[in-house]
Structure 1
Amino acid sequence: MDGAAAPAPLYTDIADAPVGGIALWRTCADGVRVRVALWPCEGAKGTVLLFPGRTEYIEKYGPAAGELAERGYAMACIDWRGQGLADRPLADPARGHVGRFAEYQFDVAELVAAARAAGLPEPFHLIAHSMGGSIGLRALQEGLPVRSAVFSAPMWGIKIHVAARPLAWAVGTGARMARRGHLYAPSTGPVTYVLANDAPGNVLTTDPDMYAFMQRQLRAHPELALGGPTLHWLLEALRETRALAGRVPPALPCLCVMGGNERVVDTGRIRSVMARWPGGRLELIPGAEHEVMMETPATRQRFYDSAAALFDAEG
């Protein structure tokens, strides 16, 4: 496949994004079709490659495109394979699944190619959230052409109680051997998190307006929603995060931002990786939950100001 692009839907009715954004289909080297969105910025100092997390979709980061444009940066974002409007591998589209985590690197290649083909200005910089942080760290180690990187609660480990970790590995491996890897992981199901849970007590954000924003998006376009991961996805995620943890972080300017009330990813693994990152900095935001880019206005401003300061310094 040559990765040639064709126009794709961009739901501007829910994106709360700057005008001028476009979406494209890109066909990856292994034949999987993903969706890419590009937001140019007049006089841009560079372009941010935004790597979303699991269950996420391009329109969720429409506000991020606006925040970055205000600070002088274009943005390129993607629907990873298996979520958003990208190809989903299973007959039940609600199941979050991937064959191997390495396959996400095909998607990364298409995002970079699309940004370059559209003439978005370099240097490129990275913002990666949650699962996107796992994909992003692997991409950096494989030569992603960016000058600097900002991570938001990266999935460099999954928050599983220490007593349950051996069981998680056993369940995942056993399911794969028994050809049951397409089953939902324990405690998950077909309804996506933000529609299955009310705002009070949620693990994503303390801002009820942003939580309502996400709910409105998925109610308006339910085809964007994704349920829980499969057992096979969980096993692959555990393998990938363990492999990444054993590697030396790249010598690239890096900022990692994490909420003080993080309850989704392994905070110990984040601290361990950042402690070994040459010149890397870990910034903790007291009281914030998992999605700092979907947090209160003050937290969002703090995040984007810090990210832009790093990008400006490395531009």
Structure 2
Amino acid sequence: MEPTPAPFFADIAQGPAGGAAHWVRTSDGLRIRVGHWRSDATTKGTVLLFPGRTEYIEKYGPAAADLAERGYATLSVDWRGQGLADRMLPDRLLGHVEAFLDFQKDVEAAVRLAERLALPKPWYLLGHSMGGAIGLRAAINGLPVNACAFSAPMWGIQIPAALRPVARVLGALGPRFGLAKLRTPTTTVEAYVQASPFEDNTLTNDPDMYRMMQDQLAAQPDLSLGGPTVQWLTESMAECASLAANASPALPCVTFLGTNEQIVNTAAIHDRMARWPGGELVMVDTAQHEVMMEGPDIRREVFDRMVRLFDQYPG
């Protein structure tokens, strides 16, 4: 049976030709959306691009274009609770997950689709932010990739010192007092790019990329997602701690981190890469959280370096 087509907003994606999306079912019965870009020119393999929290397939159209120029197809995914995937709560703007390891069920469903679509092999992993945590767990579990890259991976969450005790208390008391599905304090009801102007944002220094993200959500409001729930925060913190206790997988790896990173815990990234045999941490000068969505010079630097690694492991 052919995979079921899903909506794909090529007009806002700014990606290469050949983009499409499909619905897939996870092992626990949720419907998620998986998208891909491939063409006759993408012959070196496929990059499994794991997005961050709040993100959606079309946001990575420009990244898919950068990868296609270098010979790679791209697969991306709307994780449960975001994009057009099934949302977890009646209030669709609340970012929620029951258990962080549930995202591995989404990974399994995406990999099954990639096999059914016969996306070019070998495969490579690219995980951004929350997708970096999901991707690291998947790699530890044996994700069939030849090498991996990470962009500002969420291997720890940047919580101001004054709020850390609050986060611990909320995590401990949330289930008992019905707080688990409430939005985490200090986060916004709207998506970040809708609630925050470009000036002083913590994502990118490039106004065109920031405007693209704003325009995408204005054109397709169903893709929007606001702040996370207390349970998402609790589950994420627990998964980061669990990952930190694991050895790095036996995969070639490069990780990119902006020198102006303000969202994820940079110490956790430095620690992980210091104990990743053969891994390399690339500090991207002046970049913020979205190193793949900075200006053209930085994007060129990042994708060239990433693909140099992938090219070394063709199978």
TM-score range, shorter chain: over 0.9
Is the Cα contact below 8 Å between 2:17 and 2:38 reproduced in 1? no
Q: In the alignment, which residue of structure 2 is the partner of 1:281?
A: 280
Deviation at 1:216, TM superposition (A): 0.4
Deviation at 1:76, TM superposition (A): 0.5
Taking the TM superposition and a 5 Å limit, the aligned residue runs for 1:8-157 are 8-43=6-41, 44-157=43-156
Amino acid at match of 1:26: V
Deviation at 1:167, TM superposition (A): 2.4
Are 1:263 and 2:259 an aligned pair?
Answer: no
Q: In the alignment, which residue of structure 1 is the partner of 2:201?
A: 202
Deviation at 1:4, TM superposition (A): 7.5
Amino acid at match of 2:158: K
SS in 1 for 2:147: strand
Aligned counterparts of 1:311 and 1:41: Cα–Cα separation in 2: 18
Aligned counterparts of 1:145 and 1:29: Cα–Cα separation in 2: 19
Is the Cα contact below 8 Å between 1:218 and 1:224 reproduced in 2? yes
Deviation at 1:169, TM superposition (A): 1.4
Q: In the alignment, which residue of structure 1 is the partner of 2:5?
A: 7
Deviation at 1:164, TM superposition (A): 3.0
Q: In the alignment, which residue of structure 1 is the partner of 2:215?
A: 216
Task: Tell me the TM-score normalised to structure 2 length.
Answer: 0.97
Is the Cα contact below 8 Å between 1:155 and 1:265 reproduced in 2? yes
Task: Tell me the TM-score normalised to structure 1 length.
Answer: 0.97
Is the Cα contact below 8 Å between 1:128 and 1:150 reproduced in 2? yes
Is the Cα contact below 8 Å between 1:4 and 1:26 reproduced in 2? no
Deviation at 1:276, TM superposition (A): 0.4
Deviation at 1:179, TM superposition (A): 2.0
Q: Between the two proteins, what is the percent identity of the paired residues? A: 52
How many residues align structurally? 313
Deviation at 1:189, TM superposition (A): 2.9
Identify if the C-alpha distance between structure 1 residues 234 and 4 changes in structure 2 by more than 3 Å, giving closer, same or farther. Answer: farther
Deviations 1:130-159 (Å, cap 9, x if unpaired)? 000000000001010000000000000000
Deviation at 1:198, TM superposition (A): 0.4
Aligned counterparts of 2:32 and 2:302: Cα–Cα separation in 1: 28
SS in 1 for 2:124: strand
Aligned counterparts of 2:302 and 2:75: Cα–Cα separation in 1: 18
Amino acid at match of 1:34: I
Is the Cα contact below 8 Å between 1:41 and 1:73 reproduced in 2? no
Aligned counterparts of 2:89 and 2:256: Cα–Cα separation in 1: 34
Aligned counterparts of 2:137 and 2:31: Cα–Cα separation in 1: 21
Q: In the alignment, which residue of structure 1 is the partner of 2:238?
A: 239
Deviation at 1:42, TM superposition (A): 1.4
SS in 1 for 2:18: coil
Amino acid at match of 2:138: A
Identify if the C-alpha distance between structure 1 residues 4 and 175 changes in structure 2 by more than 3 Å, giving closer, same or farther. Answer: farther
Is the Cα contact below 8 Å between 2:35 and 2:77 reproduced in 1? yes
Is the Cα contact below 8 Å between 1:54 and 1:130 reproduced in 2? yes
Deviation at 1:116, TM superposition (A): 1.3
Is the Cα contact below 8 Å between 1:172 and 1:232 reproduced in 2? yes
Identify if the C-alpha distance between structure 1 residues 95 and 4 changes in structure 2 by more than 3 Å, giving closer, same or farther. Answer: farther
Q: In the alignment, which residue of structure 2 is the partner of 1:293?
A: 292
Deviation at 1:165, TM superposition (A): 2.1
Aligned counterparts of 1:303 and 1:169: Cα–Cα separation in 2: 36
Q: In the alignment, which residue of structure 2 is the partner of 1:158?
A: 157
Aligned counterparts of 2:112 and 2:57: Cα–Cα separation in 1: 17
Deviation at 1:240, TM superposition (A): 0.4
Is the Cα contact below 8 Å between 1:56 and 1:79 reproduced in 2? yes
Amino acid at match of 2:132: G
Is the Cα contact below 8 Å between 1:251 and 1:279 reproduced in 2? no
Which range moved further: 70-79 or 163-172?
A: 163-172
SS in 2 for 1:77: strand
Is the Cα contact below 8 Å between 1:185 and 1:230 reproduced in 2? yes
Deviation at 1:290, TM superposition (A): 0.2
Q: In the alignment, which residue of structure 2 is the partner of 1:230?
A: 229
Are 1:189 and 2:164 an aligned pair?
Answer: no
Which range moved further: 110-119 or 98-107?
A: 110-119
Aligned counterparts of 1:287 and 1:36: Cα–Cα separation in 2: 32
